[in-house]
């Protein structure tokens, strides 16, 4: 069993739809990251959070530490949101490494 699991693996949506991507983890963490990866490999950090909720533009990230679960929401989705979204947890015990999920491939059609 992977330490970080994401769902769904693939997601298609029409422009304007509300998107939710889920992340569950099984290890103790100090923080959770949501990352965006476009074709060609470039990774951009969207959020780093350790509790509660963060919002940036049309993106919202939430985390429930007790349930070991986080969600990334995209409101009013747009074709330019098409990318792979990756959840990564910072395993905070005597190390600073990130453990990544396998990603959710999102395609938003006009």
List residues binding another protein (CB under 8 A).
Answer: 4, 30-31, 33, 35, 40-45, 48, 86, 88, 90, 92, 94-103
Pick between residue 56 and residue 110 the one whose CB is nearest to another protein: 56
Q: How many CB atoms neighbour CB 86 within 10 A? A: 23
Closest distance of CB 72 from another protein, Å:
15
Structural contact between residues 23 and 69, judged by C-beta atoms closer than 8 angstroms: yes
Pick between residue 44 and residue 76 the one whose CB is nearest to another protein: 44
Structural contact between residues 63 and 32, judged by C-beta atoms closer than 8 angstroms: yes
- The dihedral over CA atoms of 39, 43, 30, 27, expressed in degrees to the nearest 10, equals 30
Closest distance of CB 10 from another protein, Å:
11
């Amino acid at each position: 069993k992977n330490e970080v699991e994401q769902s769904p693996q693939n997601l298609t949506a029409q422009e304007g739809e509300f998107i939710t991507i889920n992340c569950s983890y099984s290890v103790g963490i100090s923080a959770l990251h949501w990352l965006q990866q476009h074709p060609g490999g470039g990774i951009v950090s969207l959020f780093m959070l350790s509790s509660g909720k963060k919002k940036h533009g049309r993106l919202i990230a939430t985390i429930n530490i007790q349930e070991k679960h986080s969600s990334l929401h995209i409101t009013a989705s747009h074709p330019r949101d098409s990318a792979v979204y990756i959840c990564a947890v910072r395993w905070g015990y005597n190390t600073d490494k990130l453990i990544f999920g396998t990603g959710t491939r999102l395609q938003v059609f006009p």
